[in-house]
Amino acid sequence: MINQETVILVHGLWLHGTVMALMRRRIARCGYQVVSYSYPSMRLTLTENAGRLAQFCRSMDSSRMHFVGHSLGGLVILRMLERAADLDIGRIVLAGPPFVDSFAARRLARLPGGGKALGRSIPEWLESARPSGLERYDIGVIAGDCGIGLGTLIAPDLPRPSDGVVSVAETRLPTARDHIVLNVSHTAMLVSAAVVRQVCTFLHTGAFSRGMKDEGRGMQEDQRQGVKAPERESEAKSSCDSRSSDLTTHACSMSG
């Protein structure tokens, strides 16, 4: 029997699928079958990891697949879409993706041993053209502006607002159906209940939750900065997780 709705979670750099366990359980409560996908984020190139993800998807007993990618995981998903014509792709949520660029990763690459620490996937993304045809997919982007993370240690001048690793501006995907900014750090996205609520809302409806206290603040800021907004955009505030600094210390997620 084929399961109709499966959500595949894809982790970021230096991590393993087990870090998505809490998110997996929470999304499952929204009525989905949820699977955490693990891949060698440093050893293989982005293209190789995207190919492996596509192969994994073809092995799934599911006719329709949604995706949630954290940081580098989101980039792997986007690259995978180029070879997913035979797959029934549902909705996609990217949390903290360095889509435009990665200021922190480029700064790390200049440090002794930094290039090796970045692995092979992130450099390929930074030096290659962005995937084409993304407008065909329902993609939602979650950015953070808590500003606590390893990226601020490596690059104290990381453009603000940021989640501590990826700046909000770096998460802008022109063809995204929706984009929302939460007051959460890069690593805390993995354990944030607010992030999961927005993920489930987007998977159900194709848009993030409206009506939050600070809705509209982000669009006004975009207008002042001359940033072209996606089709629908809002910015919401949740409580900046007080555990963010500890999480960042114990679970590095630099640009991935």
For the whole model, what pTM was predicted? 0.85
- CA-to-CA dists, residue 111 to 104, 122, 149, 155, 163, angstroms: 11, 16, 18, 11, 22
**Tokens (6 digits) for 159:** 């453009």
Percent of the chain scoring above 90 in pLDDT: 77
- CA-to-CA dists, residue 236 to 96, 176, 220, angstroms: 15, 17, 13
pLDDT in tens, 91-116: 999 999 999 999 999 999 999 999 99
How many Cα neighbours within 13 Å face the side chain of 138?
A: 16
pLDDT in tens, 13-63: 999 999 999 999 999 999 999 999 999 999 999 999 999 999 999 999 887
